[in-house]
Amino acid sequence: KKKMMMMNAFVVLLLAVLAVVGVSGHGAVTQPLPRNRIDYTEQPWASGVPSPVPFEPWCPYPTSAPGQTGLTGDNAQACFWFSNGCSIGCPKPDGKTRGPIPNQPQFRHKMNVCGNHFNATVCDPALRTVNTAAECGADDDFYYYSPWRAPGSSGVFDACGMAGGTLVAGGYGAQYQNTTHAKQGDLGSKMLPPMPTGTKWKRGTAVEVAWALQANHGGGYQYRLCPADRDLTEDCFQETPLDFVGQQSLRWNGKNGTQVWIKTVTVTEGVVPAGSQWRKNPIPRNDTKQTGASFAPPCEEIPDCGDTLMNSKCLCSGMWGPYNLEIVDLVHIPDNLPPGDYVLGWRWDCEESNQIWASCSDVTVTV
C-alpha cells in the first residue's frame, strides 16, 4: 500500500511537471488569412471558440466580421504549422528538441541540434526576449542556439510549416488534429492548396499585415514574398524579404477595435537574408521563474493580470495570447516587383524554444 501511494504521488508530480513544460509556442497570420487554415470549415472550428479557450486544437483571434464581436475559430489549426528542433546555423531541424527549460534540471542547458557551435548574432539584451540578463554566450545563456539568436539562419522542414511540427505527434504542442484536409507531418508547401483571399496590393505601397499569438515563445518574425507559380521554398522566399514601414501596432478586438502604436525593435544585422528586416516579438512572456529576466510590456498592463495563465486578464504580456490581440505591421511592396499572384510568407523564429512557425497567404500584386 505504501509503494502504491508513493507511485501515485510520483504520477501526480510527473503530470504537474508535464503541464508546466509541455507547451510550445503557437502563432499564425490573421491578415491576410493563410492557407494553413485549411480545416476552417470542419468541426470544431466552424462552431465558434469555446470559453475558456483550450490549448489544442485552437488558434483563436479577434473577429473583424461586420456585426460580430469576440473570438473566431476561422483560422482553425493555422498556428500548428511549424518546425520543431531548430538551431542557429543548422541546415535541418531534428524534429524532437523543444528547447531549454531552465527551471527543470534536465533541460537547464543550451540546445544545439547539429553540434556546429554557430555564433549567435543577437546578443544585445534589448533585442532579446527571454533570459535577457544573461551575458551573451555565458553558461547561463541557455537560449544561445535558439532560432531568434541569429534570425533566418536555422533550417526548417518546410517554408509553409509542417502540420504538428514533427512527423510523429509528440509533446510540447507537437500535435495536429488529423482531418480530411491535412494530417500530422504534412508539408505546407506540398499539400496546402491556394486559398484566394481577395487581397490585392499595389506595388510601391505600404500594406497592412497582422498575426496573433496563441502561445508565446518570444523571438521575432519576418514577412516575405514568393511568386505563386514557383516552388514555395526558403530560397524563393529569401529572394524577396519585405521591409517594414513605420512602427508596430497592437490591435485589440479586430479592425473595429482599439489600436495603439508602440516602441518597435527592428533587427537588420546578423540576419538571413543579409540586411533584411526582422522585428522583435513585442509581447513579453514574463514567466521569470522559468525563463529569467524579461522586458517591459509595450502597453499599460493590468497589475497582476496572470502572465502564466492560459486565460489571463493580460492586455499585452504573458505566456498565452492574449487571444483578442493582433500584432499589426505595414510592409512595403517593392516598386519593381512584377505584377501577378504571390504567396506571402511569414516566419517566426522563436527564442524561448527551438521552434519556427510559418504561415503562407495568397495575394495579388498589381501595378
Q: pLDDT tens digits, the chain, 367 residues: what are they?
A: 444 333 343 333 333 333 334 445 699 999 999 999 999 999 999 998 999 998 889 999 999 988 888 999 999 999 999 999 999 999 999 999 999 999 999 999 999 999 998 999 999 999 999 999 999 999 999 999 999 999 999 999 999 999 999 999 876 668 899 999 999 999 999 999 999 999 999 999 999 999 999 999 999 999 999 999 999 999 999 999 999 999 999 999 999 999 999 999 999 999 999 999 999 999 999 999 999 999 999 999 999 999 999 999 999 999 999 999 999 999 999 999 999 999 999 999 999 999 999 999 999 999 9
Using alpha carbons, select from 41, 86, 75 the residue that is nearest to residue 217: 86
What separation, in Å, do the N-terminal and C-terminal C-alpha atoms of the chain show?
78
Is 310 buried (19+), middle (13-18) or exposed (0-12) by CB count in 10 A?
middle
pLDDT of amino acid 146: 98
pLDDT of amino acid 172: 64
Which residues are bridge partners to 207 per DSSP?
331
Q: Which residue has the cell 524554444?
A: 353
pTM score: 0.93
Q: Using one digit for the tens of pLDDT, what is the confidence trace for 190-204?
A: 999 999 999 999 999
pLDDT of amino acid 269: 98
pLDDT of amino acid 25: 64
pLDDT of amino acid 19: 35
Burial readout 154-168 (b: 16 or more C-beta within 10 A, e: otherwise)? bbbbbbbbbbbbbee
pLDDT of amino acid 56: 82
Contact 158, 278 (CB under 8 A): no
Using alpha carbons, select from 297, 306, 292 the residue that is nearest to residue 352: 292
pLDDT of amino acid 24: 56
Phi, psi angles (nearest 5°) of residue 326: -120, 145
